[in-house]
Amino acid sequence: MRQQRFSASSEASSELDSFSRIRGKGGSNRRHRFDEDDDLPDYGLPFSDDEDQGAADPASLPAGDRWSTWDRSTPTEKGPEPRPDWVVTELAAVDTELGIVKTGKEADVFLVERAVPGTDRRTLMAAKRYRDSQHRMFHRDSGYLEGRAHKESRVSRAMAKRTAFGKEAIAGQWAGAEFSALCRLWSSGVAVPYPVQIVGTEILMEFIGDATGAAAPRLAQLSREEADLTDLWEQLGHSLSLLARQGYAHGDLSPYNLLVHEGRLVVIDVPQIVDVVANPRGRAFLERDVRNVGSWFTARGLPQSEVDRLAADVAFDARLD
């Protein structure tokens, strides 16, 4: 049974209205306006109102919350090819929001079904939506953003000063960084959700869970009996090695942003992905990733020597040794 839609008077609805980019019925936009008069640089911020011209008549929308946003993304804002068969790209598709999957400090994740009415073409996706500057808490981003630079100095200054405009720029950079990272890592064989597309500060990606909409558990939620420690540790090492060979560390890895679905370990939440060569603390981020997750495994019987070995291995793979 479909979950109840949010009402305009509910607390959840007021929270939803804070998002910087959500298309409503008929394709209209609700968006946060900036205080700056200058044109916005291209870092993934919401479209302007003018770009909604030609939106479909709301009366023609089949049952659902919005028309598919597939046509709102440019080729570089869509996932890498070859795309999985389950990705629905038909423009006649409709997106229906089914509820919230996860709340976070910087973004929330919603369950969205994209389906073509009258056919069996349908899929579940996770919609990760970064919050606007009034409801976001990017309290950790200074360290992660070291080694990154924006092509426009005024944007960099605004980000450094944490002005309202700067916070919007940071949101766009986080969303863009996560989408780019997912594309790169998925293409490299790292076990991450397939990135379907990015629209403004909303990322649509593969839903890791079952067909009923039940999300896969986090590694932290698994009991000793449910976890195949040896296999999961090998999967973790493989993904971290592939990450390191690309020159990156997750940057905030823990048992809470690793999902386990049918025995497969999936890495999620990668907006803070760290360039370990450009960032002066790159090696520290690499080692912290390994040891944060390693503590979960050692508490369940994995020898500490295995954690030490993996930390050394990923540093070698990243060419830091």
Rounded Cα distance between 211 and 208, Å, is 10
DSSP 215: B
Cα dist. 40→71, 106, 121 in Å?
Answer: 21, 21, 37
Catalytic residue flag (residue 252):
yes
269 classed as catalytic: yes
| 253, two tokens | 């890895």
Q: Which residues contact 11 (CB under 8 A, 6 or more apart)?
A: none
Query: What gap in Å lies between CA 285 and CA 276, rounded to an integer?
Result: 8
Provide the β-strand partners of residue 109: 102, 128
* Helix H or strand E encompassing 164: helix 164-188
Which residue is catalytic, options 252, 275, 289, 313? 252
**Quick one: DSSP state of residue 114?**
E
Q: Give the active site residue among 95, 108, 141, 269.
A: 269
Residue numbers annotated as active site:
252, 269
